[in-house]
Amino acid sequence: MGQFTHHVGPRGPRFACTFNAQNFSAAQDLFEIVAPSNSEVRIREIKLGQYTDFGDAKSDLVSILVMTGHTSAGSGGTAITPAKLGRRTGSSVVAASTVKRNNTTQASGGTLTLLADVWNIMAGFLYAPSEEDEMIYIKAGERCVISNTALTDSLNVNATVIIEEVGRGTPA
């Protein structure tokens, strides 16, 4: 993506931010991530899937956008406590990022679109770049949203975003 100065060095702690069995059909911010004031955040992976609609006639396409730079937070969602992944020195490593899910009133203000893609609900959605310079970086203190457009009909959705707080801690 190239728009940020990327941190090179030890990995930071990684966290899973998830929701499951959420029924929705409206456009919303699936995830809103605010990076801590003292470190960047890398989005390592985004996974979306549904288990309500089956068959070719139900093969809807949904626009997925990942954007940064919103000046106003979304609302109507729920705070998530990111779950620590992997082994790290010290059991007290907790996420410094603030994460919400399913904001029905979407974040607003100036934005920069970093990923514009399509989710075929029959196949699921996966964003998992292997190269660091292809990952989405969220600057310290910046807000990032992963949003969808309205769906044709209601779906039960599971979703996971894996984040890494760059520059925090040391590998175990």
Assigned domain for 55 exists: yes
Residues 144 and 160: their CA atoms lie apart, in Å, by 15
Residue 61 lies in a domain: yes
120 in a domain, yes or no?
yes
CA distance 17 to 102: 12
52: tokens are 């309500």
Residue ranges making up the domain that contains 74: 14-166
Q: With respect to residue 9, please indicate whether it lies within any of the assigned structural domains.
A: no
3 is a domain residue: no
- For residue 56, give the 3-state DSSP assignment: helix
Kindly report the pTM of this predicted structure.
Answer: 0.87
Percent of the chain residues past pLDDT 70, beyond the cut: 85
Q: Taking a C-beta distance cutoff of 8 angstroms, is the pair 41, 145 a contact?
A: no
Kindly tell me the number of DSSP H helices and DSSP E strands found in the chain. Answer: 0, 12
Which position has the higher pLDDT, 36 or 171?
36
Question: Is 172 inside any structural domain?
Answer: no
pLDDT tier, 132 (very low <50, low <70, confident <90, very high otherwise): confident
pLDDT confidence band for 153 (50 / 70 / 90) = confident
Nearest one of 32, 111, 39, 127 to 75, comparing CA atoms: 32
Number of domains present in the structure of the chain: 1
Q: Among 116-120, 121-125, 166-170, name the one with the lowest average pLDDT.
A: 166-170
- Provide the pLDDT for residue 10: 61
Q: How many residues does the chain have?
A: 172
- Please check the confidence at residue 172 and state whether its pLDDT lies above 70: no
Task: Indicate whether 111 belongs to any domain.
Answer: yes
Q: How far apart are CA 131 and CA 108, in angstroms?
A: 30
6 in any annotated domain: no
For the chain, what is the mean pLDDT?
A: 87
